[in-house]
Structure 1
Amino acid sequence: MRVVRTAGVIVSGLSLAAFGLAACGNDDTGNTGTGAQAETAVTVVASTNVWADIARHVGGDAVTIETLISDPAIDPHHYESTPSDVATVQDASLVVFNGGGYDQFVQDILESTTPAPRSVNAYEILVNHGTVHHDDDHHDDDHHDEDGHGAGEGEHGATEQHESGSEADHHHDEGDDHGAEGAHGAGGHEDADGHGHGHGHDHSGANEHVWYDFHIVSDVAHAIARELSELDPDNADTYQANADETAERIEELEDRAGEVRETTEGIDVAQTEPLTEYLLEELGITDIAPFEFTTAVEHGTDPSAAVTAQFTDLLTDGSAQALIYNAQTESPTTQQMRTIAAENDVPVIEVTESLPAGMDYFEWMHSILDEFERVLSEV
């Protein structure tokens, strides 16, 4: 099966043209729709425009942001780096990437580079989350191990991170990134009610779509601030203040999710791909899609006829109260599921993996929350 990556419609109903982001390549603006940025001594290279935007919020005008993949038609899971990508990563002051196999090409470049530049791996922060203390003092050295740059890690604190994280980062390729029981939605973690301020999950075998976990995004922002502060001590206070402000805006998202949860809690949905697991958990929603179906779609293969029939039944018998549709990864099978949903009056909520043009991360997430509330309030 050939999976077609499309510049899909975001949940707020914007047209396909809204995803007319620039093609993959090195982009000093980070392609986050924020205008030109002056080149600075500190260069942050991000794997995708989502993490570029978080880095921009933390670094502000003191850093230059470059994005490796900003075209929503490019799937980071299967992307192969170019010589230009390799040079860009190797020349970076700091590399911010998703990890967990999502953008494995970045991990591969870092592992082949000696010495490797500093890096922040969002997935590693996720899987180490249960051992990380979440207090307000992000200057404390005890927090430094969140992103793998603790004591004794070499000049840049990156080499051991890559070695110790390589096995975890291949979870996606091994097909077990949802845990032994195929964790979906509210049932995917043991502490659904505790998600938010100071939440703690069992993230073993975690889903790699980390940017849909609000609290982890806050942690990533503070990890970026710590790295930038070491690279550029003169602006350390600015980086810390920006990270704190980012965390405050994350808290606003969590508060908004709490409001939406009053409408959405207890609803069953079916995702075409396991993209929004953490958001569903935040909203008290359970994904009842067959694990084998979502895994096959994510890996670009055809689900079996039996599993496809199971997914179809969820839409035709009323078990799934909505279809959560990844509009950037489409295939004949997922398009068929969307058609079946429409024929059975099952509402469709479109979600994406890339920032829409003209939006930052917070605007994007607020639009998604608004759409979940609007659609699911009518089921």
Structure 2
Amino acid sequence: MTPIRRSLPLLGLAAASALVLAGCASGSAAGDEGKLSVVASTNVYGQIAEEIGGGLVEVTSIVTNESQDPHSFEASARDQLTISKADLIIENGGGYDAFVDALIESSGSEAPVITAVEHSHDWPENDGHAEESADDDTHDDTHDDTKDDDAHEDGADHDHDHDHVEGFNEHVWYDPHTIVHVAEEIAEELSELDPGNAATYAANVETFAAGIEELESSLADVAAAHGGAQAFATEPVPGYLLAAAGLEDVTPAAFSEAVEEGQDVPPATLLESLKVIDSGEVRVVITNAQTAGAETAQIVGEADGRGIPTVAFSETLPEDQTYLSWMQANIEALKDALDA
């Protein structure tokens, strides 16, 4: 997989979709089965939707494997057809999966859209999270996504202007606290679409939230044992998880930004980064399993030479994993590296 990090246009999509969509009425793609159709940009959000919707929903994830990079994914006419029939759409936002916004616009979909970044404490437009008390273990904080009240009712009112925001880490699925709010909104939207099964959706999100609490407990254990330890992340992908684990990310910003954008790391920045590794203070190096480059390989080689453990994280859900089991495995891998 190449490390190119730019959202590409939907080349030829309009012309191709005219053929695919001809004679196809919009509505639920799973309507014949009586299930709600949920479309997610990646299998990360798709799996979370499956946890909340259970057997009452039919989930389609557009990006599903490690060879597909949401930053540069080229959508097809088939993807547009899928979006056009969705009852609910889930995207990451923040410029990460901009192809979803293009598909919504080109398909004319009016389905409600859940945008995960809007649930992050760090999202620039989100000032609605109230500070939680130290003993609050229910995640029932005051939460306002700064959306118009009508946004849930009509996808056409949803603001799809989700370009990359300078200084904001859009990889919010590595933040369990953000994800529990995304799951809550999924349950709310499904309940509005299917009021008769609202109790089932509420019970499912409660179970999911309990799993999130276990993740946060594991992260707290890592922070208690290794808080303040230095970590070097070749890309900002796992930034939220590192912060929740109490680690200090000492990666030069120019290094991780260049790698994420698929650009060459400036020689001075590479030299600075190698000095950070050689300092003897870095306890773990984190890489992105879905990208590779000469500079990343050089950092890993330097870390190996100094006996510094390297852990690879990914952007899509591995096969046969749930979101919760995947995050727990990531936390355990991080803990094992720090314990080494």
TM-score of the pair, normalised by structure 1? 0.75
Cross-structure match for 2:158 = 161
Contact map agreement 1:100 1:170 (CA 8 A) in 2: yes
| Contact 2:81–2:107 under 8 Å retained in 1 | no
SS of residue in 1 equivalent to 2:66: coil
| Cα RMSD after superposing both structures | 2.5
Alignment-derived partner of residue 213 in structure 2: 251
Return 5+ residue gaps in structure 1 as ranges: 6-37, 180-205
Matches within 5 A, 1:1-379: 3=3, 39-126=33-120, 127=123, 129-132=126-129, 145-146=144-145, 148=147, 150-153=148-151, 155-156=153-154, 158-163=155-160, 166=161, 169-172=162-165, 176=166, 179=167, 206-378=168-340
Cα deviation digits, residues 353-373 of structure 1 (max 9, x gap): 111111111111111111111
Matched residue type, 1:245: T
The structure whose RCO (Cα within 8 Å, separation 6+) is larger is 1
How far apart are the structure 1 equivalents of 2:331 and 2:151?
A: 39
Whether the aligned pair in 2 keeps the contact of 1:111 and 1:162 (CA below 8 Å) is: no
User: Structure 1 pair 4/300, CA: closer, same or farther in 2 (3 Å)?
Assistant: closer
Bigger CA drift: 44-53 or 101-110?
Answer: 101-110
Given the superposition, is the C-alpha separation of residues 39 and 286 from structure 1 closer, same or farther in structure 2, using an over 3 Å criterion?
farther
> In structure 2, how many angstroms separate the alpha carbons of the residues matched to 1:229 and 1:219?
15
Residues in 1 aligned to 2:264 and 2:34: alpha-carbon distance in whole angstroms: 46
Q: Is the 8 A contact 1:146 1:223 kept in 2?
A: no
Mark the runs of 5 or more structure 2 residues left unpaired by the alignment. 6-31
> What is aligned with 1:21?
none
The structural deviation recorded for 1:71 is 1.4
How far apart, in 1, do the equivalents of 2:109 and 2:63 lie? 24
Task: State the shift of 1:4 in Å.
Answer: 8.1
Deviation at residue 334 of structure 1 after TM alignment: 1.1
Deviations 1:30-67 (A, max 9, x none): xxxxxxxx954310001111101110110000000111
- 2:14 is aligned to none
Larger radius of gyration: 2
% of aligned pairs identical?
Answer: 35
Q: 1:339: how far off?
A: 1.3
Say if 1:263 and 1:376, in contact at 8 Å, map to a contact too. Answer: no
Counterpart code for 2:83: V
**1:157-184 CA distance string (max 9 Å, x none):** x333325xx1xx2125xxx2xx3xxxxx
Cα-to-partner distance string for 1:105-136 (whole Å, 9 max, x where unaligned)? 00222234435211100012222554135796
Runs of 4+ in 1 over 4 A off after TM superposition: 133-138
Amino acid of the structure 2 residue aligned with 1:151: D
SS in 2 for 1:329: coil
Tell me, in whole angstroms, the C-alpha distance in 1 between the residues paired with 2:110 and 2:73: 21
Native 8 Å contact 1:261 1:283 kept in 2: yes
One-letter code aligned to 2:311: I
Q: Distance in 2 between matches of 1:209 and 1:317?
A: 28
3-state secondary structure, aligned to 2:159: helix
Q: TM-score, normalised by structure 2?
A: 0.83
Q: Describe the SS at the equivalent of 1:321.
A: strand
